[in-house]
Chains A and B, each alone.
Chain A
Amino acid sequence: GQQVMQIPQYQHVQEGEDFTTYCNSSTTLSNIQWYKQRPGGHPVFLIQLVKSGEVKKQKRLTFQFGEAKKNSSLHITATQTTDVGTYFCAGIPGGGADGLTFGKGTHLIIQP
């Protein structure tokens, strides 16, 4: 079935270092969304990308959607302790279920 893969599963960084998580789908996605989940919390929507090659920025976060609409990335510049959490990408693969297919997430751990 359709799958959304995310790497890495865990990322340890020193505070102030950059962080990137990558998302790859086995099928073309109509759109991709990114969510953040703090430990013990619930997913919170960050952004949605729809167009091929789209790039969006939110302060220190940069989101990209690949030209083929099968991959995406989230890059955080100069991480802060408030960035701790798990970052999920999610999409609706063409011809698949109507709900979002989530990647397994990247756990960001920041060492002060």
Chain B
Amino acid sequence: DAGVIQSPRHEVTEMGQEVTLRCKPISGHDYLFWYRQTMMRGLELLIYFNNNVPIDDSGMPEDRFSAKMPNASFSTLKIQPSEPRDSAVYFCASSLVRGGDFEQFFGPGTRLTVL
């Protein structure tokens, strides 16, 4: 299995621009998660989906952030407009809830720099 795939791996953009991060979960997994990691705040859950439906978006910092999951194999996280404080590493993770097991498997992350 290829694992969770994220693109791009690095993104540098200017303040005010739209940024779209992409994720392909592990095939067959029914949960998908978006996290943000910074030195100050550590790893924070932004939003997660179950069977393509958003379940909890309480971690999304503000209306500039939006996430979609149009099908089981693809999700996007969009920031519009971007601001320098959005600079962070964004991780996508997926899991399969089976019996009592539900460990999450993370992608390699997208390092976002907003100038």
Q: Do A and B bind each other?
A: no
Q: Which residues of A contact B (CB under 8 A)?
A: none
Q: Which residues of B contact A (CB under 8 A)?
A: none
